[in-house]
Amino acid sequence: MSGIKKVHHGVPADSLIRLKPQKLGRHYHKIPHYIRELSSKYPRIISDYFLRNFRINLELLKVEVHEQVVQDAECLYRSTLGKVGFAIDRALLTEALECYYGGTCLPSHEAPPISSSEQRMRTRLGLDVSQLFARSILAGDTFGKLEPHDNAYDEAVWEYVAEFHFTSHITGSQASIFIYLDTQLVDELTSRLSSPAPTAQGGNSLNQIRQLPVRLDCVVASLQMPLSQVLGLRPGDILPMRLLERCEVQINQHKLFRGAIFEDDGSLFLTSLESVKTP
């Protein structure tokens, strides 16, 4: 044995492929190809939406799927399938805003300062375009009800970002729309790609009910305070809280069971579960 423990090579570190343990054994590598394939099969889904609602004729140039991008998601939503992010280049957002109110955005037109109208337009586009994207990759289904996600303690981890490159026939300029998919949502896609199509249950309604997705909410801390103090809270205030010894797990605000939280390897787990008796 030579005792050599390192391998020396001339490959730059930036060009090395870093394996992610959560992707091993799963069909993660199929997701980028799957998104590009469906986008080429239905290239007018997003373009027709802009033409119908804003009279903007967009031509899809290409679709890229990234594992990470520099631009952060401008709108963040949560659904039963996972979290979805949305971002749009400001040039296209401004063009949609002006065309919606009857104006015309010329190439030399300076972008207006950020306004509440622009923020509302971005939110509307985020909801509509995200659901259009969902219908294309989920065989006509949607992500379900999308709700704004502004929980700073539950940060989204994006696995893939789909970037749609468009060119506008009005201005001739190019702009991009970004759709962000988190780990839970990508897991849902990989399960659909790896598993065969579901067959009819032959009227077995009990098995169909058991397959329905259920959202569990775990209450790890609670605090009771007068309404006057709640109204007096300001950004940056600190509230002293103590974690509950027994955490309640709820479904749609109904108590299901209690459990104790413990930490292992940086992750939180529930243990010592006990049922909650309801009248």
* Whole-number Å distance between alpha carbons of 127 and 100: 17
pLDDT at site 103:
57
For the CA atoms of 60, 62, 65, 68, the dihedral, rounded to the nearest 10 degrees, stands at -90
**pTM of the predicted protein model:** 0.61
Q: What pLDDT score does 67 carry? A: 86
CB 163 within 8 A of CB 178: yes
Average pLDDT, the chain: 81
Q: Sign of torsion, CA 34 38 40 45?
A: negative
Helices (H) and strands (E) in the chain, counts: 7, 10
CA distances from 59 to 56, 104, 177, 192 (A): 10, 18, 12, 30
Is the pLDDT score of 1 beyond 50?
Answer: no
Would you report the helix, strand and coil content of the chain in percent, each value rounded to 5? 30, 25, 45
Residue of 234 and 101 predicted with greater confidence:
234
> pLDDT tier at 123 (50, 70, 90 boundaries)?
very high
> If pLDDT is split at 50, 70 and 90, which confidence band does 128 have?
very high
**Residue 42 predicted with pLDDT over 80:** yes
Q: Each residue of 63-77: pLDDT tens digit? A: 999 987 778 899 999
User: What integer pLDDT is reported at residue 107 of this predicted model?
Assistant: 46
Instruction: Determine the Cα–Cα distance for residues 155 and 158; give it in Å rounded to an integer.
Output: 10
Question: In the predicted model, is pLDDT for residue 5 greater than 60?
Answer: no
69: Cβ contacts below 8 Å, ≥ 6 apart: 161, 163, 178
7-16, 48-57, 150-159, range with the lowest pLDDT: 7-16
Backbone angles phi, psi at 191, to 5 degrees: -65, -35
Residue 92, SS3 per DSSP: helix
